[in-house]
Structure 1
Amino acid sequence: MEIEYIPLEFLKPYDKNAKIHTSKQIQEIANSIESFGFNDPIGIWHDTIVEGHGRYEAAKLIGMKEVPCIKLDQLTDEQRKAYTLVHNQTTLSSGFDCDILNDELISIQNIDMSDFGFDLSFLEEDEEQENKENERERTNKAYNLELFDENDAAGFFQMPIIKNDNVIPDDLLGMNYMLSSDNKEVGIHMYVDDYQFERLWNDPDKYLDVMREYQCVFSPDFSLYMDMPMAMKIWNVYRSRMLGNYWQRNGIKVIPTVSWAEEETFSFAFDGIPEESIVTVSTIGVKQNPYALSVWKAGMDAMIEHIKPSVILVYGGKLDYDYGDIKVRYYDNKVTERMKATKEVT
């Protein structure tokens, strides 16, 4: 077969061509010709186009004066009609291997293949998926989800478990002094304002080396105010258990801080603490308020029934409460003691 260059004006489209070429497809063919050349001659029978109507229209669109053609005059009129249909049918009858196609499209970096009718939406989907994965990673970090192990949790609310380390500190130091104190033969308590240990939640790894130097660390006393939404109370108990659990896994001895509010909180406030553990509670703010004292005593009853602690470390002074046979160790509230000492000096 010989290729001849024939002026477009001498070519005649077959008036019964069954193949439909949309304006979008013709533009894509034109883009291909402009990018890569006219590399597929038009088949003609005398002066009538047999195959290549789309290329003919694209050539007109971009202002070509002549196009490469091959003559198919050896065909009969019936063969010419049949070949027109067969050529269009065979080009449509099979698709692409999608995996190979996508790999090839990804490897083409400097040519916009969408100009030629290829669907590149899968690339946007991959980018969207990557963005979703990055967003999930940010979410995990914000909520410390990567710290949680469902196999190391207990109760309906999946409170992380703080195991019993069987340690009783000689004395206590507030966590706000742990960076500056030279005395490491003490435990670190978390009976301070919440903002002091929010930094521990926001960056659980930051103080690991510092806390390892002390005898033990209490888990944070995230507040459970009576007027808080229940969801927030559950969240604060969870955060206390989660940090204590994580610190233990990093070689720090931890004593779980137990706190509660109204009776409804008893359904989750003691989860994640094995029976016969050493636990710590606070009596700060309870003594002078009869209602608060009644709530504290009810919660202590429920805690003892649920956990059956071997030792209770009480921070803040004694209350009129019968702990039965449970060993109790009291620690003074150093802030209150310093305030009393100041008043006496004054």
Structure 2
Amino acid sequence: MGYRPFKQALADMRSHGFAKLEKGYSEWGTREGTVTRILFTPRLTHQLAASGITVANRFHHFDYQRAMEDIPPIQLRATTAKEWPRVFRGRKMRVDYACPTVTAHADQIRSINAYLGKQSVIDHEGVTLDIALRRIFNLGDQSGHGYNKGGRAYESYQSIKRKYREHITINGHRTIEVDISACFLTLLHFLLGHPFCATVDPYAGPDLPRDIIKAWVNLTIGHSNYHKRWPKETISKLEEKGYVDVPKRYPMTAVRKACLPHFPIVSEWVESSYSWADLFRAESQIMLDATQRLAEVHNIPALPMHDALRVSVQDSSMTVDVIKDEFLKHTGIQAIVDNPN
């Protein structure tokens, strides 16, 4: 549709109360802003529903370009800028698709997307998901960057709250998440060349609740240094698990003092040249290789969830085996991957 017909159609929809326009803005000083958005109104969705057209069955009524055909499979971002108390996401950078490394990564994402696009994935609201994974690499403005920092695969379903993700179905089957226990801590042993024991609880040691220990370890190795206080997001997650008044009952400095003697590898990590981006890179490649292998070898659709894969309940045992094997192949370490079924 051309510009003039589209403008006229949009004006007609707005005049009848079927759509509204939210103009975008740009603040060049802070690099923040939004694009102009066209939003449909309840009046339009109610009228369509009266004719039997809903978000859930939209694929049966409209023919349009799939998300995987529109979203670039590989993205690259510069280093995140921090101006206390604000954090600005790294700007998007040009991706060199002529680079053999990028070509390989893009081919893998396209292959996974093509396979998942043939499956019926329905979310907790009954909406059919149009899946288009994209892999985002980071620190692209740093010298020596070779698409080896970050690289996690992202999709909108990952933002669905855990309690609702349980209602996602794949090809009509109930799903569960198979995850790597203490994934970052295990990868830390790999990067620093230390042996890892998969037969004991990796968070055992300090006289503190396991959730507190786990939160501190992951916060520290996912950051560039020790935290001075608990982030609000972490406090909220701990409160959801029943912890009350976390900053006062478990002061960050006291938790650090209790944990460090049991986790000397964390001290080594803080002083090393590695960062969260190296953990993301190792984690993402393992999980994407597992996702591709499940699809191509076992015909099992899996939705990447960073350190986990959401699969149909009946496919959980095979998923555990594949994740363990891919982790061993990449790191030489036997990871802890339990079957939640």
TM-score tier after normalising by the smaller chain length = under 0.3
With the length of structure 1 as denominator, give the TM-score of the two structures. 0.20
Which structure: larger Rg? 1
Higher relative contact order (CA 8 A, sep 6+): 2
With the length of structure 2 as denominator, give the TM-score of the two structures. 0.20
